[in-house]
A and B are shown apart, each in its own frame.
Chain A
Amino acid sequence: MIYDEPRFTPGGDRFIEMELGDELNFDLNFLVHALTARVREADFDGIIELLPNMASIVISYDPDRIGYDDVVRKIGGIFASLGSLEDVELPSPLYTFPVLYFDHVTRACWEDYCARIVEKEYDPDLMVRLNKLESRAQLARIHSGTEYWVAALGFYPGLASLIALDPRCRLTAPKYNPPRTWTPKGTLGYGGSVTCLYPARTPGGYQIIGHSPVPVVDLEQRLRAFRDRLALLKPGDRVRFVPVGREEYDHVEAQVESGEYEHQVAAYAKFSIRAYHAWLETLDMSIRF
């Protein structure tokens, strides 16, 4: 549910968790980001950082500059003055990532897991079976058939939780048990109802179904998109995956390696929840791609 009144709870002497609801719900997550944007605009003295997530925001503050009660009062006041969510429009850059589905990189990772840890069904086949799809081709079609919303980042720097905006493209996947000890950087993963691009070689638990040569984190800041940041995506951005063949994949990979690659992004794009809701109404929910 979405709470009528947000709930504030302390996290020690310099953090507050603000819960706006307790479910996985796109409108609720949009509310989280709309509120985060408004609090940032208000630029209260003493509020240091905001950490928006699925249904809550963790606020860090400097207790020498603002007290707990004042943080609650000021942010609660902004919540109360938000007005109708339908009228909110947020900047939402749209990034496009080329993906080689069912690729050699993640297949090698799955083979290594089967050999060293435990035998398991090939991840794309498991997703096809559990989601009652016809084929791997349909899995790729559905996965790449929607824009994704960056609902949150975290756990690892640059790791974004992506939610399908077209409800017909929502899939589900169980997590690895036990988890993988390594996952290649650039792996496309799916766990629960969330998809992600692994920003670095890390352990992992999501099913792995493809690979993109385009980085979401660049610690050396070699590529142009990283001139002012180490991690590409921010909450409220959008992502689209475009299936490519091996030739295009190799071409992009070479461009990334040489430092010439330019990320594809519609930086001007905005997201209107009213327009999104209206679009949802027009969908034929019986169609599966």
Chain B
Amino acid sequence: MIEVVKAGLETSVQDFPGRYGFWEQGFPPSGPFDMWSFRLANLLVGNAPDVAGLEIQFLGPTLRFERETVIALTGATMAPKLDGAPIPQWESVAVPAGAVLETGFARIGARAYLAVAGGIETAPVLGSRSTFHMAGVGGMEGHAIEDGQHLPLGACAKDGTPGRRVKEDCRPPIPKENSWQIEVVAGPNDDWIDEAGQRMFLESDWTLQARSNRTGFRLTGPEWTFAARATDKGPEHGEHPSNILDHGYPVGAVNLCGQTPIILVNDGPSAGGFINPYTVPSAAFWKLAQSKPNDTYRFHLVSVTEAQAARRAIDALCTESSLEDAR
């Protein structure tokens, strides 16, 4: 078991890739936001890449390990300490029974991932341990972890080996600056935006609002303009140009709600009545996950083929070949 001494801002149990098969009833996939860092954390401690671990957001937890184990912390740069002594990230670390891990604030990036040998073994819900806390599904009693809880640990198939490290060039390159280039694919509803509006979207800086979470990332930027399809339409589509007859929402959709684009992410709604002119492909999700409120985005148009190639390139890095001995 792991005792939660301090839960941190919003720390949740997630597994890879999340909860699939219930989307048509409105259950989103959930799962780790930065799946690149998440999978590498698992590999470091000898787990399969899909095993449940913790997603840490902005301010991390303090945890007491009730038994000896091996852990790895990846993703955002924190200042982790084990029993008061600094420990490295992107590296597997032996934890004696009773040791206390403090993770502190995210310094570079926003989300860190903690893997524990054997994984976190909360009860799966609909085939996944991932937390979807808006509706209270999965994880620890449906929500982010809380002070005083005890997280069950799985038995180790094989003991994790301490002193394994992720090669520098196999990690997501989380920048120190606060500006990001985020890939987007045009569609499904780019034909509702006129040419000027499309140019505006791709040539403007967009600021991430503080009101952003695992459901959606709200952006501030210039005004959108619309194509004829958005203004000349049947009443069932709704009044505003950004309204459309209810339809399904891809994960990653840039959902235009009036004039406010909201990127729908892992816990986002499955459907609704707004257009999705662009979609952020899965290979760019780690960038969203590691950005902070007030960071700026510049969107870069890619094709479906390019987006799929980028996804494959990341998948290829989430393997044993990215690990090396630390010494």
Given contacts A11-B276, A12-B185, A56-B247, contact A230 B22 (CB under 8 A): yes
- Judged by a CB distance under 8 angstroms, whether B160 is at the interface is no
CB atoms of A10 and B304 under 8 A apart: yes
Q: For residue B89, which residues in chain A have a CB less than 8 angstroms away from its CB?
A: none
Q: Which 5 A-B pairs have the closest CB atoms?
A: A154-B271, A11-B250, A58-B248, A12-B279, A15-B250
The CA-CA distance from A58 to B249 in the complex, in Å, is 7
Chain A, 138-175, CB within 8 A of any chain B CB = 152-159, 161
* Chain A residue with the shortest CB-CB distance to B187: A9
The CA-CA distance from A72 to B311 in the complex, in Å, is 20
The number of inter-chain residue pairs (CB within 8 angstroms) is 165
* Chain B residue with the shortest CB-CB distance to A194: B246
- Judged by a CB distance under 8 angstroms, whether A17 is at the interface is yes
Selecting from A45-53, A116-124, A242-250, the interface stretch reads: A45-53
In the complex, how many angstroms separate the beta carbon of B222 from the nearest chain A beta carbon? 23
CB atoms of A11 and B246 under 8 A apart: no
In the complex, how many angstroms separate the beta carbon of B22 from the nearest chain A beta carbon? 7
CB atoms of B245 and A49 under 8 A apart: no
6 contacts across the A-B interface (CB closer than 8 A): A9-B188, A10-B279, A51-B271, A157-B137, A229-B22, A234-B24
Q: For residue A16, which residues in chain B have a CB less than 8 angstroms away from its CB?
A: 188
- Judged by a CB distance under 8 angstroms, whether A219 is at the interface is yes
- Judged by a CB distance under 8 angstroms, whether A75 is at the interface is no
- Judged by a CB distance under 8 angstroms, whether B26 is at the interface is yes
Q: For residue B199, which residues in chain A have a CB less than 8 angstroms away from its CB?
A: none
In the complex, how many angstroms separate the beta carbon of A227 from the nearest chain B beta carbon? 12
Chain A, 1-44, CB within 8 A of any chain B CB = 9-17, 19, 22-24
Chain B, 271-314, CB within 8 A of any chain A CB = 271-272, 276, 279-283, 304-305, 307-308, 310-312
CB atoms of A13 and B26 under 8 A apart: no
- What 0/1 pattern do residues 180 to 192 of A give for CB contact below 8 A with B? 0000000000001
B residues neighboring A (CB under 8 Å): 20-27, 125-126, 132, 135-137, 142, 185-190, 233-234, 236-237, 245-253, 269-272, 276, 279-283, 304-305, 307-308, 310-312, 315
Q: For residue A9, which residues in chain B have a CB less than 8 angstroms away from its CB?
A: 187-190
CB atoms of B187 and A17 under 8 A apart: yes
- Judged by a CB distance under 8 angstroms, whether A215 is at the interface is no
Given contacts A157-B26, A219-B135, contact A57 B185 (CB under 8 A): no
Q: For residue B248, which residues in chain A have a CB less than 8 angstroms away from its CB?
A: 17, 51-53, 56-58, 154
Complex partner residue of A49 from B24, B253, B283, CB under 8 angstroms: B24
Q: For residue B304, which residues in chain A have a CB less than 8 angstroms away from its CB?
A: 10, 12-13, 68
In the complex, how many angstroms separate the beta carbon of B280 from the nearest chain A beta carbon? 6
- Judged by a CB distance under 8 angstroms, whether A272 is at the interface is no
Q: For residue A48, which residues in chain B have a CB less than 8 angstroms away from its CB?
A: 20
- Judged by a CB distance under 8 angstroms, whether A91 is at the interface is no
In the complex, how many angstroms separate the beta carbon of B284 from the nearest chain A beta carbon? 9
Q: For residue B137, which residues in chain A have a CB less than 8 angstroms away from its CB?
A: 157, 219, 230
CB atoms of B25 and A229 under 8 A apart: yes
CB atoms of B312 and A152 under 8 A apart: no
Q: For residue B249, which residues in chain A have a CB less than 8 angstroms away from its CB?
A: 58, 154
CB atoms of A157 and B25 under 8 A apart: yes
CB atoms of A157 and B27 under 8 A apart: yes
- Judged by a CB distance under 8 angstroms, whether A239 is at the interface is no
CB atoms of B26 and A12 under 8 A apart: no
Q: For residue A50, which residues in chain B have a CB less than 8 angstroms away from its CB?
A: 24
* Chain B residue with the shortest CB-CB distance to A233: B25
Q: For residue A49, which residues in chain B have a CB less than 8 angstroms away from its CB?
A: 20-21, 23-24
Complex partner residue of B136 from A17, A22, A54, A219, CB under 8 angstroms: A219
Complex partner residue of A63 from B236, B279, B280, B308, CB under 8 angstroms: B308
Q: For residue A58, which residues in chain B have a CB less than 8 angstroms away from its CB?
A: 247-250
CB atoms of A17 and B22 under 8 A apart: no
- Judged by a CB distance under 8 angstroms, whether A64 is at the interface is yes
- Judged by a CB distance under 8 angstroms, whether A235 is at the interface is yes
Given contacts A9-B188, A230-B125, A230-B137, contact A155 B247 (CB under 8 A): no
Complex partner residue of B246 from A13, A53, A68, A156, CB under 8 angstroms: A53
The CA-CA distance from A156 to B23 in the complex, in Å, is 10
CB atoms of B24 and A22 under 8 A apart: no
Q: For residue B253, which residues in chain A have a CB less than 8 angstroms away from its CB?
A: 11-12
Given contacts A10-B188, A56-B247, A161-B246, contact A230 B126 (CB under 8 A): yes
